[in-house]
Amino acid sequence: MGKVSETKSLKAVLERFEETNEALSVVNLIEEFKDQMNRTTVYRILARLEENGYLQSFSGTGGLKWYAKTNESKAKDNNTVYPHFQCEDCGKTERLPIDVPVPEIAEHQVKTVSFLLVGSCGQCDEGI
Ligand SMILES: [Zn+2]
């Protein structure tokens, strides 16, 4: 496959996030797009999307970096955190349909917040 322009690469990554409410790990994204762009491009696109508030990142189990869509209507709102749930069994990481307010702490300025809950998802739990 030939070299794909950065604009096209950006569009491909955006579309990938549009079609799911799940968080995607950097490792997965690099693997998925390996025919279209190199890992440096993936990293650069993710960093850019995080900068303009479209994505938020957090560390999952094993120190992997994950990215997920922010709630678009609140993309610039730093006072709300969107918790994710990561299943230890199947690795699925989904954004929970709840917003958690970030507490105000006197004399401290919060810059980034991540909130990850780890456990078993409904599907894996059934199999026990
Ligand atoms: Zn699971």
φ, ψ at 63 (rounded to 5°): 75, 5
Decide if 1 is inside a domain. no
How remote is the CA of residue 90 from the centroid of ligand 1, in Å?
4
Q: Is residue 19 part of a domain?
A: yes
Per-residue pLDDT of 45-102, as tens digits, reads 999 999 888 888 888 877 789 998 876 544 445 567 778 899 999 988 888 888 888 8
- For residue 94, tell me if it sits in a domain: yes
* Domain total in the chain: 1
The CATH number of whichever domain residue 66 belongs to comes to: 1.10.10.10
Number of H helices and number of E strands within the chain? Answer: 4, 8
The reply to whether 12 falls in a domain is yes
Give the domain range for residue 67.
Answer: 6-126
Kindly give the distance from the C-alpha atom of residue 30 to the centroid of ligand 1, in angstroms, as a whole number.
22
pTM exceeds 0.75: no
In a domain, 86, yes or no: yes
Q: What is the Å distance from ligand 1's center to 41 Cα?
A: 30
pLDDT digits (tens, 9 = 90+) for 91-112: 888 888 888 888 888 998 877 7
Digit-coded pLDDT (tens) for 10-56? 999 999 999 887 889 999 999 999 999 999 999 999 999 998 888 88
**How many angstroms is it from 105 CA to the middle of ligand 1?**
35
127 CA distance to ligand 1 middle (Å) = 10
d(CA 64, ligand 1 centre) in Å: 17
What is the distance in angstroms between the CA of the first residue and the CA of the last residue of the chain? Answer: 44
**CA 106 to ligand 1 center in whole angstroms:** 39
Task: Kindly state whether residue 65 falls inside one of the protein's structural domains.
Answer: yes
29 lies in some domain: yes
Residue 53 lies in a domain: yes
